[in-house]
């Protein structure tokens, strides 16, 4: 119970704004009109779950005149600002790349954007600079694969040099999209190589939606933990590509297997350096309940992983008891942990059922009445 109570989950500001696919953005009533309202909505998720005390920002989606004011507003609502995400995917200059672009002027612009994000970190007290590059190629021969890696290493080093000692770069990878032939940071190995070259303040981000179907993600988790370079998760679910569906909805068993690696490596501890973030969009479902459900899904997977009898599993593994070892994992996975989590919440003075408590709070009706003309998450902005 103690370990479970210590876990925290970071929410993405963009989960609260309107979002959609390239086919259509469905506008919902009451969505936030600015980053202040996004933070207020995220604080509701924390209020009813007790385990979501940070909000990631995306710059420029969450650009504001006064970041110290935003940070103070967050504190008033009982949350803090988490990772600052740079955004290199919505500017015409970056059509052929950002940090990897053949033109030094564009690369310098991309570096400058990251230095601006580091200033936002200073103003908000954030410690993680999250970098996801849309850079890549659509056609073989379009650019020199190896030269792009060299430019990337150079640009990242310039950004890294701008960090304060308490800051980290967390570098995300993605196997395809928006580029389809070759991404410049397509996989964990590439991200890890760049992080190792940069230094100890650089870590890998694992977005669960950024792998080819069938990839054994828990293996990657284990490998990055061995290297001491798993900086964060972007949790979400996918059936096909980068679907950004609610974590634990498409494949709760995968989430359990990931959390089993985390728990068995001791990486659940708050000082492990692993930031458990969500990266999702709620295109057709209400956003605050969607985030509450997602947080609960992570908690359930974590609780099940904590139920694995580690000693018995070790003994079964040592003695070659294949079915016994597998059975121990399945016993934990098949346990209904919802009563345990309800008990935990009540012991913390929370409602046993966060979805019900939020529904009864009247907040959804209040924001619908107060906010007209909500913002896009950023995709269509």
Answer for which of 67, 132, 188, 333 binds ligand LRH (CB under 6 A) is: 132
Residues 76-115 close enough to bind ligand LRH by CB under 6 A: 85
261 binds, among Mn ion, ligand LRH, none (CB under 5 to 8 A by kind): none
Name the helix (H) or strand (E) containing 333. helix 322-333
Answer for which of 62, 128, 135, 234 binds Mn ion (CB under 5 A) is: 234
Answer for which of 37, 135, 279, 351 binds ligand LRH (CB under 6 A) is: 279
Helical axes 287-307 vs 252-264, angle rounded to 10°: 50
Stretch of 11-19, 43-51, 274-282, 301-309 contacting Mn ion, by CB under 5 A: 274-282
| b/e code 342-363 from CB counts within 10 Å (16+ = b) | eebbeeeebbebbeebbbeeeb
Nearer to Mn ion, 261 or 279 (CB): 279
| Residue 211 φ/ψ region, left for φ over 0, alpha for ψ in the -120 to 50 degree band, beta for the rest | beta
CB of 174 vs Mn ion, minimal distance in Å: 6
Say whether residue 300 binds Mn ion (CB under 5 A). no
Answer for which of 10, 184, 242, 300 binds ligand LRH (CB under 6 A) is: 242
Answer for which of 37, 41, 62, 234 binds ligand LRH (CB under 6 A) is: 234
CB of 48 vs Mn ion, minimal distance in Å: 25
Nearer to ligand LRH, 128 or 279 (CB): 279
Residues 173-202 close enough to bind ligand LRH by CB under 6 A: 174
Binding mask 41-80 for Mn ion (x = CB under 5 A): ----------------------------------------
Looking at residue 190, what DSSP letter applies?
A: H
CA distances from 74 to 44, 79, 250 (A): 11, 5, 32
| Residue 320 φ/ψ region, left for φ over 0, alpha for ψ in the -120 to 50 degree band, beta for the rest | left
Q: Are strands 10-12 and 80-85 parallel, antiparallel or unpaired?
A: unpaired
Say whether residue 184 binds Mn ion (CB under 5 A). no
Residues 25-44 close enough to bind ligand LRH by CB under 6 A: none
3-state DSSP assignment of residue 246: coil
Nearer to ligand LRH, 195 or 328 (CB): 195
- Sorted by sequence, the CB contacts under 8 Å of residue 69 that are 6+ apart come out as none
Rounded Cα distance between 115 and 97, Å, is: 18
Say whether residue 172 binds ligand LRH (CB under 6 A). yes
Rounded Cα distance between 38 and 26, Å, is: 17
Please work out the total of residues on this chain that contact ligand LRH, with binding judged by CB under 6 A.
8
Question: What is the separation of C-alpha 321 from the centre of its chain, rounded to a whole number of angstroms?
Answer: 36
Report the interface residues with Mn ion, using CB under 5 A. 207, 234, 242, 279
Report the interface residues with ligand LRH, using CB under 6 A. 85, 132, 172, 174, 207, 234, 242, 279
């Amino acid at each position: 119970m103690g370990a479970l109570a210590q876990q925290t989950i970071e929410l993405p500001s963009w989960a609260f704004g309107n979002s959609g696919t390239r086919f259509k953005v469905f506008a919902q009533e009451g969505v936030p009109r600015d980053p202040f309202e996004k933070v207020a909505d995220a604080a509701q998720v924390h209020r009813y779950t007790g385990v979501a005390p940070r909000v990631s920002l995306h710059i420029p989606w969450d650009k504001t005149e006064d970041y110290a004011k935003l940070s103070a507003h967050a504190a008033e609502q009982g949350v803090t600002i988490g990772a600052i995400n740079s955004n290199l995917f919505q500017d015409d200059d970056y059509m052929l790349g950002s940090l990897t672009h053949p033109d030094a002027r564009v690369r310098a612009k991309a570096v400058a954007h990251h230095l601006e994000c580091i200033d936002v970190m200073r103003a908000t007290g954030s410690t993680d600079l999250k970098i996801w590059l849309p850079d890549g190629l659509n056609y073989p021969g379009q650019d020199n694969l190896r030269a792009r890696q060299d430019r990337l290493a150079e640009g990242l080093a310039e950004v890294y040099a701008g960090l304060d000692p308490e800051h980290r770069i967390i570098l995300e990878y993605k196997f395809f999209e928006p580029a389809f032939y070759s991404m410049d940071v397509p996989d964990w190995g590439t991200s890890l190589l760049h992080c190792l070259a940069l230094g100890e303040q650089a870590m890998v981000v694992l977005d669960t939606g950024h792998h080819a179907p069938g990839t054994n993600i828990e293996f990657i988790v284990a490998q990055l933990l061995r290297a001491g370079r798993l900086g964060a998760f972007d949790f979400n679910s996918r059936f096909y590509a980068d679907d950004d569906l609610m974590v634990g909805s498409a494949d709760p068993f995968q989430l359990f297997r990931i959390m089993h690696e985390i728990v068995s490596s001791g990486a659940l501890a708050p000082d492990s350096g692993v930031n458990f973030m969500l990266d999702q969009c709620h295109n057709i479902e209400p956003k605050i309940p969607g985030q509450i459900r997602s947080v609960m899904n992570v908690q359930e997977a974590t609780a099940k992983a904590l139920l694995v009898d580690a000693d018995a599993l070790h003994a079964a593994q040592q003695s070659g008891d294949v079915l016994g070892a597998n059975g121990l994992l399945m016993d934990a996975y098949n346990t209904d942990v919802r009563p345990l989590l309800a008990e935990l919440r009540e012991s913390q003075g929370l409602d046993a059922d966060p979805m019900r408590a939020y529904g009864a709070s009247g907040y959804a009706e209040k924001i619908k009445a107060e906010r007209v003309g909500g913002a896009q998450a950023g995709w269509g902005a």
